[in-house]
Amino acid sequence: MEYRASVAYKLLFVCLGNICRSPSAENIMNHAIAEAGLSERIVCDSAGTSSYHIGSPPDARMRAAASARGIAMNGRARQFTTADFEAFDLILAMDRENYRNILRLDPQNRYGDRVKMMCDFANHHADTEVPDPYYGGPDGFDYVIDLLLDACSGLLARTIEEQNLTVR
């Protein structure tokens, strides 16, 4: 993925297969960024630590849960690579296993400060990890959307503050 030089800040959301949680976070965050008028200053992408679903669109159940909240789900699954460490300012893992798998690709710990847990930014949910809804029912997908709406709101507020951005 190529980014314009004028982009101030780049976020990467990472889960296992890149068809449920991380594309949801990416699209929810893009929705919030657009509403804040910051699409030229913050860009998002998502990836998976596995290669299971490369090229696949977001899971239909996740698309339905997001659509019910007015959020379109775009994108195609891709696998996280070591080049992502340089390409992104902040890498957000959905769960501890994703976090560990990302850091395993950085044995010298040059980029560890860029890798954070997504739930660290939630203000209204006590979860420490975004649960994987893949093998569950519709309630799990709805819950993940609600959790990510909360975490993305907190992440956007922190990014605006830390990057000294002006909201439209």
Residue 87: both structure tokens together: 């390409």
The single residue of 20, 21, 61, 142 carrying the catalytic annotation is 21
CB atoms within 10 A of CB 7: 13
User: Is-catalytic flag, 15?
Assistant: yes
Given the residues 84, 132, 142, 150, select the one marked as catalytic. Answer: 132
At 157, the amino acid letter reads A
Active site residue 132: yes
CB atoms within 10 A of CB 61: 18
Cβ–Cβ < 8 Å for 65, 145: yes
Please, which residues have CB within 8 angstroms of residue 59's CB and are 6 or more apart in sequence?
19, 20, 134, 141
Known catalytic membership, residue 20 = no
- What is the amino acid identity at position 91? I
* Active site positions, annotated: 15, 21, 132
